[in-house]
Amino acid sequence: MIKEKSKQWIVGLEIGTTKIVTLVGEILIDGTINIVGIGQCLSKGIDIGHINNLQNIVSCIKKTIYEAEIISKYKISSIYLSISNKYIKCKNEIGLIPIKKQEVTKQDIKNAIYIAQCIKLNSDYKILHTIPKEYSIDKDIGIKNPIGLSGVRMEAQVHLITYKKNIQKNISKALKLCKLKIKKKIFSGLASSEAVLTLEEKKSGVCMIDIGGGSIEIVIYINGDIQHSQVIPYAGNIITHDIAYIFNISFQKAEKIKIQYGFKKLSSLTAEELIEISSIYGIKTKTIQTHLLMQVIESRYLELLNIINNIIIDTQEKLYCSGKPYFIKSGLVFTGGSVQTKSLYYFSKKVFNLPIRIGKPININTYNKHIINPSYATVIGLLKYGKQFNNKKKNINKKNKFQKWFNIFKNFFIKNKKY
């Protein structure tokens, strides 16, 4: 494998309940990302972010890394990693400081954010993301960039996302065994949002819902700021378990039936259509009508969608009570592997009185069009986050380089100054 320093490479790794995916991206001159390699395999040894077999998960990761390296001809040593499990928690906090120099400086912003971060966490939790939302100076609210503004005191409103350290330690151990370095850990919901949402949607208000195999990630944006994020620790796989249990078949057969019939439009199914089902032991037991299968799928989907609806309503009520914008004008954007069920749109219309669309990754180039799919929203979002971090690092390096030369010239003139 080669490692070209002249090119900007980004690698994203998603370790999901259903699949593990590695993507290699190259940042082009115009700033777009071109996906040049992919490796994937069915997940083994992990369930909703919790490792239950270290050897199996290491083997899966190595397999995806190897495949991505072969296709991209790039040696992978570091990755951007997605994180999602039932222990992910979010909290909105406030940092309040006095403005010492009559106008706000960068240091004031850092101090306000630091105070907002100084909340009491459980000893086994750690902050994953600190996302500034807006600022207020005295009685002026809704300020996006307070630098240079005058006032007596400033308040920073910050969205914090935390995770459980022990679970992440096991993931880090698996990656260390794969000889991989983690550049940055990113909440899966944020990554998916970056992949499928537009800036206009975030400004007008939108709820991104990523339905995977083991969990659902919810992220709500209003007025361009993140207002709520949450993980529901069950998703597409629970529907498969229902089918397997009710019709007494294996999980693998239930998954095939869910895909074959659940991904059809309801209008194309008839009550008379029969499905031949064999038991776990391979003995033919009976045939069932497709409408019975759809009843199982629909009841569970409606349950999940109602949970999501309650979360949205609760978030809106809190914003309304605090006098802040709460409308979600752009509606809901569904993404993830389990949203390709054709009947999901129909089920969603029963629950939500909002615009609904299925979100595919946007503004991305690739040799493989199959990747432009809701199933790859998270891992593509990792590449987009990686690009942002690369740009920040590049700007910092340029600034440091300029400062270094400035100091050299400054010292030279001081030494040679004639009195």
Task: Indicate if 275 and 318 belong to the same structural domain.
Answer: yes
- pLDDT tens digits for the chain (419 residues)? 555 556 789 999 999 888 999 999 999 888 889 999 999 999 888 876 678 888 999 999 999 999 999 999 999 999 999 998 888 999 999 999 999 888 999 999 999 999 999 888 888 889 999 999 999 999 898 899 999 999 999 999 999 999 888 878 888 999 999 999 999 999 999 999 999 999 999 999 999 999 988 899 999 999 999 999 999 988 888 888 998 888 888 888 888 887 777 655 555 555 556 677 665 555 566 677 777 888 888 888 899 999 999 999 999 999 999 888 999 999 999 999 888 776 788 888 889 989 999 999 999 999 888 999 999 999 999 999 999 887 655 554 445 555 555 455 555 555 555 44
- Residue 155's domain comprises 89-164
The pLDDT, as a whole number, for residue 419 is 42
Q: Are 387 and 32 in contact (CB under 8 A)?
A: no
Positive or negative, the Cα torsion across 281, 282, 283, 289? positive
The pLDDT, as a whole number, for residue 282 is 58
Task: Indicate if 313 and 229 belong to the same structural domain.
Answer: yes
The pLDDT, as a whole number, for residue 18 is 87
Domain count, the chain: 2
Burial (CB < 10 A; 0-12, 13-18, 19+), residue 121, is: middle
Identity of the residue numbered 158? V
Task: Indicate if 213 and 303 belong to the same structural domain.
Answer: yes
Q: Are 38 and 55 in contact (CB under 8 A)?
A: no
User: 268: which 2 tokens?
Assistant: 């194309």
Of the residues 164, 190, 215, the one at which a domain ends: 164
CA distances from 412 to 102, 216, 296, 406 (A): 34, 60, 78, 10
Domain CATH code at residue 236: 3.30.420.40
What gap in Å lies between CA 171 and CA 49, rounded to an integer?
A: 8
Task: Indicate if 211 and 348 belong to the same structural domain.
Answer: yes
Closest CA to 34 of 9, 17, 59, 15: 9
Which DSSP helix (H) or strand (E) runs through 134? strand 125-137
Task: Indicate if 205 and 351 belong to the same structural domain.
Answer: yes
Rg (CA), the chain: 25
Task: Indicate if 135 and 250 belong to the same structural domain.
Answer: no
Question: Is 184 part of a structural domain of the chain?
Answer: no
Task: Indicate if 208 and 298 belong to the same structural domain.
Answer: yes
Q: Are 258 and 39 in contact (CB under 8 A)?
A: no
What gap in Å lies between CA 94 and CA 116, rounded to an integer?
A: 5
Of the residues 312, 332, 359, the one at which a domain ends: 359
What DSSP letter does each residue of 90-110 carry, written as one string? EEEEEEEEE-TTSB--HHHHH
Four-point Cα dihedral 295, 300, 304, 305, nearest 10: 0
